[in-house]
Structure 1
């Protein structure tokens, strides 16, 4: 199933309507969808580097709006809608463990790490933020910063370095994600120690 979703998403990058599909996938990724928008975003930027900033703006805006939808699901409809969605993707246990173990500040850090590196998955954190009553303004601000940074940095790198960056990212995505998340968690650890 995952491979079919990935192949379907890759085929969308070649269509004239790819910008619309990018917005749709970035939106639903932040609340319910399994495949990250990057799998469509990367080939689109490589195919049309002059549109890199437009694609980054579309992906960021749609992702933040999708995050708001996830927050609303967690805040107003957790048991009716969000819980079955998380259970479907096998993320309900992760969600319940996170909810039991985190405080307000930790959720803010998770918003940043999930926005930048998908650790934990963004949909889990957006729903968790709503269920935990994270301030919607703070949620939106952190989503704009984290998701915007992710898409605009990728757009700049791909626009400047092209295919060589794509190959580097694809070969080392797990390592890049882990190092980025570890750095953010280390910064949070320093913050807690200095507090």
Structure 2
């Protein structure tokens, strides 16, 4: 996509047109095969069209779930034939070992954690869930929670802080996402704590 066509796409998003659909497909691709984080495109689009950040967050979340469903069934049927070779080709052997340890111990929560935060690629969670026949409904729910928190929280941050979110993300993507989501859960924890204290 050229700079000019990207600007046209942004303009269509700002007007609430087909750019939102493009985000769906980009997110689906990123969840399965694309090596590019969707946030590279998503954050500038959210900054450009802040009135549509919630629609964008919905689109990329649903796209991620759709891509994860495809990946789940690919792993379910073809992991033994090609999965290990693809993981070796991507150089993810160490990350695979780390995720399998998490998955064996925490199951559902491991999928949520990896889907929400770097550095373990979410494709490994998808592959492990599909290959082991992890309950499909729970897998979809974990993906929806993980990606929903990640993208809707990002949308909220762009609405509140604008350009500062993009700068933090560009400097250190993993750290920025971790800190932002940690702050979110910290705030939720404080609210719950004080509500119980005054109940």
Aligned partner of 2:108 in structure 1 is: 108
Aligned partner of 1:60 in structure 2 is: 61
Q: What is the CA-CA distance between 1:167 and the residue it aligns to?
A: 1.3
User: Against the structure 1 CA distance between its residues 43 and 180, is the aligned structure 2 distance closer, same or farther, given a 3 Å change threshold?
Assistant: closer
Aligned partner of 2:134 in structure 1 is: 134
Conserved 8 A contact 2:103-2:111:
no
Q: What is the CA-CA distance between 1:169 and the residue it aligns to?
A: 2.9
Aligned partner of 2:26 in structure 1 is: 25
Find the aligned partners of 2:2 and 2:94 in 1 and give their Cα distance.
27
User: Against the structure 1 CA distance between its residues 159 and 177, is the aligned structure 2 distance closer, same or farther, given a 3 Å change threshold?
Assistant: closer
Find the aligned partners of 1:35 and 1:9 in 2 and give their Cα distance.
16
User: Against the structure 1 CA distance between its residues 40 and 64, is the aligned structure 2 distance closer, same or farther, given a 3 Å change threshold?
Assistant: same
User: Against the structure 1 CA distance between its residues 25 and 140, is the aligned structure 2 distance closer, same or farther, given a 3 Å change threshold?
Assistant: same
Find the aligned partners of 1:50 and 1:32 in 2 and give their Cα distance.
30
Conserved 8 A contact 2:112-2:146:
yes
Q: Of the two, which has the highest radius of gyration?
A: 2
Q: What is the CA-CA distance between 1:91 and the residue it aligns to?
A: 2.1
Conserved 8 A contact 1:25-1:36:
no
Q: Please list every run of 5 or more consecutive structure 1 residues that lacks an aligned counterpart in the other structure.
A: 1-7, 184-195
* Segment drifting more, 107-116 vs 33-42: 107-116
Aligned partner of 2:148 in structure 1 is: 148
Find the aligned partners of 1:23 and 1:164 in 2 and give their Cα distance.
25
Runs of 4+ in 1 over 6 A off after TM superposition: 9-12, 180-183
TM-score scaled to structure 2, two decimals? 0.74
Find the aligned partners of 1:178 and 1:159 in 2 and give their Cα distance.
18
Alignment of 1:1-195 (within 5 A): 13-14=6-7, 15=9, 16=12, 18-92=19-93, 94-95=95-96, 97-98=97-98, 101-177=101-177
Find the aligned partners of 2:145 and 2:76 in 1 and give their Cα distance.
22
Backbone CA RMSD of aligned residues? 2.8
User: Against the structure 1 CA distance between its residues 151 and 123, is the aligned structure 2 distance closer, same or farther, given a 3 Å change threshold?
Assistant: same
Find the aligned partners of 1:77 and 1:114 in 2 and give their Cα distance.
22
User: Against the structure 1 CA distance between its residues 139 and 47, is the aligned structure 2 distance closer, same or farther, given a 3 Å change threshold?
Assistant: same
- Aligned length in residues: 175
Conserved 8 A contact 2:71-2:127:
yes
TM-score scaled to structure 1, two decimals? 0.76
SS at match of 1:77: helix
